[in-house]
Structure 1
């Protein structure tokens, strides 16, 4: 979901509040600004300079990229730490710690995404309610809602993974329950009877 929210073009959309006639709609994200007219023609323009952007856009870019990196590490660590995976053998203590590290990465991913999306949305609302703001006013787009959903899921998933993967010592490892079969019981019963000498001759079986 972070990978879907990051390239989404609708992080903020120009508002129609107070406008009687709207001939074009402007929408932006962290990378470009686009406009569409009444006949449906789209024109997009990448931001020409990174240093010329506002500080919150630069910070949001860095946080979203860091979020994708943390999420990738968290996914790999979680797959390695799962008990059903063959990686790492049957050392469940080590696998539990690796899975807990994956949970930490997911928490970092959710926190970075939440900060970036909330910071971007705070600037949109601040400009929207500022009566003296001279530029174009925007509203919150669908990309921010996807980012909020992604951050919430990542934080909940990382927290659940940390609570579920408690580090256990080797003494706490529960052995596989041994269930003796009925055949071994029959063999143990019949074994003494084989030592008893038989009184029947060879002709008794004919």
Structure 2
């Protein structure tokens, strides 16, 4: 496996993992829309953990969601998926660092190191998939309520936290795919067959008299 591919995949997975940690506490997963409003006195924005409001003077107030069971199902699922993404990314970084060729953690057994690096790539893929599902599901509910003319509550738009999550998912998926494919190509070995020289194969038996006469001709004998 190419060491450059390992380093690039590790950097992409690490950046994606850091961006997941930035997206989870970000308060702007959804922001109240100003579409159709002549005067806007306050702005409401929410994430997976709390709801905040700010007025025209710049004073903002936040409160955490009081009950987990009282939340919508997609918010609970998004929380679980984002936490799972952090866990997968942490183990993916650890496995990739151990399985890299420049690392001495697993000794000099390159086959074992390649398999460990491949596991790290799979974990990066799981991190990206969990993040992608979480932020896409959350954004789907925002757009569904926004375009529903019969929705009686406050309508929201997509916030910057979701864009950070999408970027994180893409980086993790690309890094995990590169690492997994590189490990798969590196472990596939060509079969080598023993060399057989061309030429006459001689047996251990001496040639018969008729064969000798045929080979040397009649003039060889007196």
Change in Cα spacing, 1:169 to 1:154, as seen in structure 2 (3 Å) is closer
Match of 1:98 in 2: 116
Q: How does 1:1-206 map to 2 (within 5 A)?
A: 1-166=19-184, 168=187
Change in Cα spacing, 1:130 to 1:170, as seen in structure 2 (3 Å) is closer
Separation in 1 of the partners of 2:188 and 2:37?
67
> SS in structure 1 opposite 2:187?
coil
> SS in structure 1 opposite 2:40?
coil
In the TM superposition, structure 1's runs of 4+ consecutive aligned residues that sit over 3 Å from their partners are: 169-172
Gaps of 5+ in 1: 173-206
> SS in structure 2 opposite 1:165?
helix
Separation in 2 of the partners of 1:54 and 1:13?
17
Contact 1:93-1:170 within 8 A present in 2 as well: no
The Cα of 1:86 is off from its aligned counterpart by 1.1
The Cα of 1:171 is off from its aligned counterpart by 9.0
After superposition, the C-alpha distances for 1:92-132 in whole angstroms (9 at most, x for unaligned) are 10000000000000000000000000000000000000001
How many correspondences in the alignment?
172
> SS in structure 1 opposite 2:31?
strand
Separation in 2 of the partners of 1:4 and 1:120?
17
Gaps of 5+ in 2: 1-18, 192-222
